[in-house]
Homo-oligomer: A and B are copies of this chain.
Amino acid sequence: MDPFGDLTRALTAPAGAPAGPTQPDLRREERKGVPEVVLAASKTGPHLAGAVRAFLDGRDRAIVSRLSPDQAALLHESFLDAVIEEYGHGRTMVLRRAAWTPPLPGGRVGVITAGTSDVPVAEEAAVVAREMGCQVDSAYDVGVAGIHRLFGPLREMVERSVDVMIVAAGMDGALPSVVAGLVDVPVIGLPTSVGYGMGGAGVAALMTMLQSCAPGLVVVNIDNGVGAGATAGLLARRAAEARGELPPRRPG
């Protein structure tokens, strides 16, 4: 695939009709290798349903995140012809039509959380990686206030050769630093908006991850499970391609 193709065509084409009100990026999955996720957060019911329908019609699958319970109920009512899976206490939803073809499996991602409140955001990341075809291993509620709970699951992930780890943490956000100091795979710090008072809402968690001395730790924004999952998926898929488990996206 040639990522510059669209650009060249747009620039060399004659000036046509102006862009309409929305420009659904149905082809992002081909261009970037990452599926687009519908963010439900600020959408009205009809807009949300319309966006989901566009993806179901175009790609036989829609991934929706940051759903309120009312929005989730609306989707259940509106898409009786789709199979619906819920993750992270209903924050994230995947809808599939029968015609959907899963990606070739390949790549392995570890997902760890410091506390139980970090799970919904971590699941959002896990869903995105899984929908890209990765296998996801997870261990939840293993933060530094009781660090003895961490080592067993961490050792296992290392032994299973995950290609990358996502470590979600709110409050003090200390866990990604500890993990990145122990393992030699890249770690994506995923701060969550858990916490209160000074440094609350994920600010302390994000800052402490940015300040970490542990090499190999990169971060995404607070609660950006989609971004963490997409990058982890990209990394793991490339590793799987390199190992020959997957055909290359761009033929050499």
Contact = CB atoms under 8 A, between A and B. Distances in A.
A181 B173 CA distance: 14
Contacts of A210: 197-199, 204, 206, 219-221, 224
Specify how many copies of this chain sit in the oligomer.
8
Contacts of A150: 10
A62 interface: no
Contacts of A178: 144, 147, 174, 178
Contacts of A138: 18
B204 A198 contact: no
B226 A184 contact: no
Given A156-B15, A172-B212, A211-B205, A144 B181 contact: yes
A82 interface: no
A116 B182 contact: no
A146 B47 CA distance: 21
Interface string A208-220: 1111111111111
Given A140-B21, A147-B178, A149-B23, A231 B218 contact: yes
A142 B19 contact: yes
Nearest to A183: B3
A126 interface: no
10 contacts: A4-B11, A6-B148, A19-B141, A172-B177, A197-B202, A198-B198, A198-B203, A198-B206, A204-B211, A218-B219
Contacts of A8: 11-12
A182 B213 contact: no
Given A4-B151, A21-B140, A216-B234, 15 more contacts: A7-B11, A9-B148, A10-B148, A11-B155, A15-B152, A18-B139, A21-B141, A28-B146, A144-B177, A145-B181, A172-B213, A198-B211, A203-B207, A204-B210, A207-B208
